[in-house]
Amino acid sequence: MPKSSNQKLKLLYLLRILQKETDEEHYLNSQQLIERLEKYDISAERKSIYDDIARLTDFGYDIIHVKTKGGSGYYMGSREFELAELKLLVDVVQASRFITLRKSRELINKLEQFVSGKEAQQLQRQVYVAGRVKTDNESIYYNVDFIHRAIQENRQISFQYMEWTLDKKLVPRKGGARYVISPWALSWNDENYYLIGYDKEADLMKHYRVDKMGSIELTREERQGSIVFENFDIAVYTNKTFGMYGGREEIVSLVFADQLIGVVLDRFGRETDIRRLQEGTFRVRVKVAVSGQFFGWLTGLGTQVRLAGPENVVEEYRNYLKKIYGRYEEGCSGQ
């Protein structure tokens, strides 16, 4: 009887069967493996199954032979990823705002290839995150890859920077003018990807949301700003820049209720200098980018925080609060 053209693929199909249909709780005996191979028009005998599994094991695959009162069989032991690791990755993909719904499904389907069919069902999870809105802009994946390439090749990039209009469309800022930036790093902050790059004209490190960068091109020019970047601390920069909105830098003094210590360490880091004050309060001195977002963060903490200085920033904050209050004064038109 002539052999099937698939016969030469016997080892590969056997490996696929073990990977997709077996795990620690599900195994297949030699007869079941023979039957599975027959579906691919591949003939096999018990002895050849033993020999093939031995070859796969010698090559490095962790194939376990179990013997129980109910019989014996084989299953795929350790894999590239443990199930718990894949569950974590799936949760991250689903919770990531910058990954579109369609791309999330594609990535999860690919992750399922690393476990058996039974275990793959456990990866069909749904992570609910309050207020989470998935982006519908898939260009971000290619933008990230493009920026990494520019960094590796030590080249500047040019791009259009986009903004939303009231009719919910992204249009180029500055009439479509192109920004030329030396890319140095990517940062994930406040659920968004940001490019950290050097702007030669301003002689400053700046940040740009990657999902709002359009028509990215590599230039022939080498990156600039290496000296500036050497003295640039991304962690410090993102901690002081609330919501990645810029503003002038100031060292401010803040007095918090003790129960907000976790909020402070999450916001400014564990290296923050903490000074105990009267019972129930503590003070920190931190560098921040003074902006509406910073004042909004303070306001959200209510009476459990007090901006203690410097006086010019305190006065700005008073005016900020007065303007908000003025919008709600009695007799306000509401417009």
Q: Which residue has the higher pLDDT, 236 or 54?
A: 54
Residues 205 and 264 placed together within one structural domain of the fold: no
Judge whether 89 lies within some domain: yes
pLDDT at residue 308 in the model: 92
Q: Report if residue 140 sits inside a domain.
A: no
253 and 297 fall within a common domain: yes
Instruction: Based on the fold, state whether residues 59 and 91 are members of the same structural domain.
Output: no
Same domain, 185 and 156: yes
Query: What is the pLDDT at residue 54?
Result: 92
Residue at 271 is within a domain = yes
pLDDT value, residue 263: 82
Residue 22 lies in a domain: yes
User: What digits encode the pLDDT tens for the residues 124-162?
Assistant: 765 444 445 566 666 777 888 888 899 999 999 999 998
Pick the more confident residue, 179 or 236: 179
52: three-class secondary structure by DSSP: helix
Structural domain harbouring 40: 5-76
Q: What is residue 146's predicted lDDT score, i.e. its pLDDT?
A: 87
Confidence category of residue 287, pLDDT binned at 50, 70, 90: confident
Return the pLDDT at 222. Answer: 95
**335, exposed or middle or buried, with CB in 10 Å at 0-12, 13-18, 19+?**
exposed
- End-to-end Cα separation, the chain, in angstroms: 87
Residue with more model confidence, 312 or 167:
312
pLDDT category at 220 given cuts 50, 70, 90 is very high
Domain total of the chain? 4
Same domain, 97 and 165: no
Q: What is the pLDDT of residue 89?
A: 84
Residue 332 has pLDDT above 80, yes or no: no
- What pLDDT, on a 0 to 100 scale, did the predictor assign at position 133? 54
Share of the chain above pLDDT 70, in %: 88
Q: Are residues 100 and 153 in the same domain?
A: no
**CATH number for 175:** 2.30.30
- Inter-residue contact 159 to 178 (CB < 8 Å): yes
- Residue 226 shares a structural domain with residue 284: no
CA dist., res. 101 & res. 97, Å (int): 9
What mean pLDDT, rounded, does the chain reach? 83
Q: What is the pLDDT of residues 72-112, one digit of tens each?
A: 899 888 887 888 888 888 877 877 777 777 888 888 888 88
Least confident of 100-114, 195-209, 235-249: 235-249
Picking from 183, 203, 230, the residue at the C-terminal end of a domain is 230
Q: Which of 184, 205, 230 is the last residue of a domain?
A: 230
pLDDT given at position 310:
93
Domain presence at residue 131: no
Position 314 pLDDT exceeds 50: yes
Residues 156 and 224: their CA atoms lie apart, in Å, by 8
pLDDT of residue 183: 94
Contacts of 190 (CB under 8 A, 6+ apart): 243, 244
pLDDT at 1: 45
Residues 161 and 202 in one domain: yes
What is the arithmetic mean of pLDDT over 235-264? 77
Residues 72 and 88 in one domain: no
Residue 27 lies in a domain: yes
List, for residues 260-284, the tens digit of each pLDDT value. Answer: 888 888 778 778 888 988 888 999 9
Least confident of 3-12, 209-218, 255-264: 3-12
Question: Does some domain include residue 254?
Answer: yes
- Residue 138: its pLDDT value, please? 66
Count of H-run helices and E-run strands, the chain: 12, 12
CA 305 to CA 276: how far, in whole Å?
14
- Asked whether the predicted pLDDT for residue 188 surpasses 90, the reply is no
What are the structure tokens assigned to 278, written together? 């009267």
Domain co-membership, 113 together with 185? no
pLDDT at 4: 66
- The string of pLDDT tens digits covering residues 27-47 is 899 999 999 999 988 888 989
159 with 219, same domain: the answer is yes
Among 66, 93, 123, where does a domain finish? 123
Whether 182 maps to a domain, the answer reads yes
What average pLDDT score do residues 277-305 get?
88
Q: Residue 300: which CATH number?
A: 3.30.70.240
For residues 51 and 34, state if they share a domain: yes
- DSSP-assigned beta bridge partners for residue 68: 71
* % the chain with pLDDT above 90: 26
